[in-house]
Amino acid sequence: LKEPYVLTKADVVERYLPSLLTASSEPVTCFAPSNIALCKYWGKREKELNLPVNSSLSISLGHLGTQTTLSLAEVDQVWLNGERLTDDTPFARKVIAFIDLFRRDQAVTLKVDTRNNIPTAAGLASSASGFAALSLAINQFFALDLSDDVLSAFARMGSGSASRSLFQGFVEWEMGQQEDGMDSFARPLVARWDTLRIGLVKVATGEKKVDSRSGMTRTLETASLYQAWPAQAARDISRLHSAISDKDFQLLGETAEHNALSMHATMIASWPPLVYWQPDSLAAMQKVWQLREQGIPIYFTMDAGPNLKLLFEAEYEADVLTAFGEIEVVSPFSAVP
């Protein structure tokens, strides 16, 4: 029996490419911010194209993220943070496989020089800024002139969260329903919230043992709790829209924290158990809850890693720094013109 035919990434990308590529003779450099989801993307309905089970909503991290330069070279080579990676590392292979979708069999060999100013593979969304910056650079290097919607859908095929990292500010990724996934892309929301701050509590910045992709698969395959997730995500997206349009910080923070902990509950309910927390992660959570008891409106969110991202407003920055020490604080809207 023949397997049902599944569209590949290459099938989808091909439809948007010119028949002959022109490569830039000059290097091309693009930056994309990392992003933190307030309603998480957790679970794929289709793995080849990275199509999500639920829509998600994030906030981008301004100047924190990835800068990627593409230039012509004698042989393909991938450099991360100033060091050349060997060709058989999963990192280099994923980058080259993504470039292959665009150059296909044309004889263009490239140097990819990518720099993350956030830790790589530590739950601070390096895959998001990494594949967004690479998508922007490919678009420019090969003069593809793709629309934002198409580019976001392509970035999504590199890493789901990358669909949201093409933009600053609040960004929503609609799950879509088409088989080819071309209605599954992100768009920025028009809203701004200049007093919003994000504090990064770096508990550990080493590479996580289980990457987001395998963590998601394990959760879907083994956690019966996951059944409750899609409905919660839908509810949380609509709450976040209200919170953003009413500038209701309490609703924003409660929704984000509850969403993150619910996602982590599905991870913990997987087998083998998937616990991204470390003792210091829990200690930081307890500090957040203590501050709230003292009347300071502060909430947290967490991704597939041990680090916390604090959510608070500018007027409480001094209190937060007193409680957490010299953590990095991002003003996400200072990057939005």
Q: How far apart are CA 7 and CA 166, in angstroms?
A: 24
Neighbours of 271 (CB within 10 A): 10
Pick one of ligand ADP, ligand DP6, Co ion, none as the site partner of residue 50 (Cβ within 5 to 8 A by kind): ligand DP6
**Binders of ligand ADP in range 192-251 (CB under 6 A):** 211-212
**Binders of ligand ADP in range 27-66 (CB under 6 A):** 66
Choose the stretch contacting ligand DP6; rule: CB under 6 A; options: 64-72, 158-166, 185-193, 287-295.
158-166
**Binders of ligand DP6 in range 265-304 (CB under 6 A):** 303-304
Residue 47, sorted as left (phi over 0), alpha (psi -120 to 50) or beta, turns out to be: alpha
Shortest distance (Å) from residue 322 CB to ligand DP6: 29
Paired with 186 in beta bridges are 173
**Binders of ligand ADP in range 279-318 (CB under 6 A):** 303-305
Give, for 214, the enclosing helix (H) or strand (E). helix 212-222
Q: Of residues 152, 212, 259, 281, which one binds ligand DP6 by CB under 6 A?
A: 212
Q: How far apart are CA 138 and CA 165, in angstroms?
A: 15
Choose the stretch contacting ligand DP6; rule: CB under 6 A; options: 20-28, 95-103, 125-133, 319-327.
125-133
Shortest distance (Å) from residue 115 CB to ligand ADP: 7
Q: CB-based contacts of 31: which residues, under 8 Å, 6+ apart?
A: 65, 66, 67, 68, 133, 136
Shortest distance (Å) from residue 107 CB to ligand DP6: 29
CA 271 to chain centroid: 25
Q: Of residues 54, 58, 127, 281, which one binds ligand ADP by CB under 6 A?
A: 127
Shortest distance (Å) from residue 261 CB to ligand DP6: 12
Q: Indicate the residue among 38 and 138 with the shorter CB distance to ligand DP6.
A: 38
Interaction of residue 100 with ligand ADP, rule CB under 6 A: no
**Binders of Co ion in range 110-129 (CB under 5 A):** 127
Q: Indicate the residue among 58 and 139 with the shorter CB distance to ligand DP6.
A: 58
Q: Of residues 54, 56, 165, 301, which one binds ligand DP6 by CB under 6 A?
A: 56
Q: How far apart are CA 193 and CA 314, in angstroms?
A: 11
Burial class of residue 31 in the structure, from the number of CB atoms within 10 Å of its CB (0-12 exposed, 13-18 middle, 19+ buried): middle
Assess contact for 311 and 256: CB atoms under 8 A: yes
The answer, yes or no, to whether the previous bond of 90 is cis (omega within 30 of 0) is no
Q: How far apart are CA 296 and CA 298, in angstroms?
A: 6
Assess contact for 70 and 111: CB atoms under 8 A: yes
Sign of CA dihedral 86, 306, 127, 263: positive
Q: Of residues 50, 255, 270, 307, which one binds ligand DP6 by CB under 6 A?
A: 50
Interaction of residue 123 with ligand ADP, rule CB under 6 A: yes
Q: How far apart are CA 303 and CA 213, in angstroms?
A: 12
Choose the stretch contacting Co ion; rule: CB under 5 A; options: 12-20, 204-212, 289-297, 327-335.
204-212
Give, for 52, the enclosing helix (H) or strand (E). strand 51-52
Site residues for ligand DP6 per CB under 6 A: 37, 40-42, 50, 56, 125, 127-128, 159-161, 212-213, 303-304
Site residues for ligand ADP per CB under 6 A: 66, 91, 94-95, 114, 116, 120-128, 130-131, 134, 211-212, 303-305
